[in-house]
Amino acid sequence: MEQFLSTIDDLEARIGKTPNLAKLKTIDHLDEGALTWLAASPLMMASFGGKEGIGVTFGAAAPGWVSGNSAELQIPAAMIDDPDMARTGVSFGSFFMIPLINELLRVNGRVIGNDGEVIHIAVQECYLHCGKALLRSKFWQTGSAVQSPTTLDQVFDSARFLALGTIDANGYADISPKGDPARAMVQLDTDMLWFADRPGNKRIDSFRNIVSQPHVAAIVMIPGSPYVARLVGTARISDDPVIRTRFAVQEKVPALVTAISDLSVELMQSDALVRAASWIATPVPPDVEPARITLAHLKLNNNLEAQQAAAAMSEPGFVEQKMQEDYKKNLY
């Protein structure tokens, strides 16, 4: 019988508290590095929601399709699969992807306007997310994956990536990337869809949100295919050892698994992913350096611990080296 966690204390007892350093990498605006990243990104995965619920959608166009300044992000409504989700006042969570780069730029905020042409987002959070989800999913290696699945079972069997949208008790939205090999990404068990927790950026925002407010939305996808499974449901977190063992990869069993019940699922083609395919093979822009952006965000934080960490990591190549070591040692 499944064992579900119901409190933050239960959660932290299993996986620990969020380290302060993970929080100190967050800034409340778009700095130069973030704007450079946005200018190079052809693909966005986003959540829109509030106390009434949440949805997940994709957006894509040629690099440069989104614009903004330090305080505001501007997104062309026509380039999003579901622009009607972006109602004025709802909360916004997103990550922006650059082909062949595994790190993600996270931008969270609130919709302050949508005139049908441009969606205006007031930026509240910006930070760089580690590349583990994309590495585990081999996101940029499309290979011989099922490109045109005709059933939900085909999507679930071949899926290697999941974008999970959650909201907290106050209606603030978040979207979290999840990546794993096929058949270890998601498993459908009777009326529940399960997926594993793996090492990541240690913020555990989605877990905290699920404990306080369990309504979630997600898109399950096969990298390289525009056909996805979009779903909404009720999420619960479990440490059941039998179910966790089913998700073992490289002989490493995840600490927690998540079940989504009360499922409403649809198979759909994402127009955004169709457009994004045109830019997947583009070379990495030379001025986009994830390690440099991470260090810059630390330096922008006036907290003493952040300043001390930034000083310690300022040696050329240090941050990049530590990131690669972490990916090698702590992928699972």
Predicted pLDDT of residue 138: 94
- What are the pLDDT digits (tens) for 162-210? 999 999 988 899 999 999 999 999 999 888 999 999 987 677 889 999 9
| Helix-strand-coil split of the chain, %, nearest 5 | 30, 35, 35
Mean pLDDT confidence for 40-44: 96
- What are the pLDDT digits (tens) for 201-230? 677 889 999 999 999 999 999 999 999 999
- What are the pLDDT digits (tens) for 4-13? 988 888 888 8
Banded model confidence at residue 118, pLDDT cuts 50, 70, 90: very high
Predicted pLDDT of residue 306: 64
**Which residues are paired to 310 by β-bridges?**
none
- What are the pLDDT digits (tens) for 232-269? 999 999 999 999 999 999 999 999 999 999 999 999 99
Q: Which domains does the chain have, with CATH numbers?
A: 4-329 (2.30.110.10)
* Exposure class string for 164-185: b at 16+ Cβ within 10 A, else e: bbbbbeebbbbbbbbbbebebb
Query: Can you tell me the distance from the alpha carbon of 100 to that of 97, in angstroms, rounded to the nearest whole number?
Result: 9
Structure-block tokens of residue 265:
């699922």
- What are the pLDDT digits (tens) for 67-109? 999 999 999 999 999 999 999 999 999 999 999 999 999 999 9
CA-based torsion, 23, 27, 30, 31: positive or negative: negative
């505001």: which residue's tokens?
72
- What are the pLDDT digits (tens) for 263-305? 999 999 999 999 998 777 777 888 899 988 988 888 887 776 7
Tell me which amino acid residue 206 is: S
- What are the pLDDT digits (tens) for 307-316? 777 677 778 7
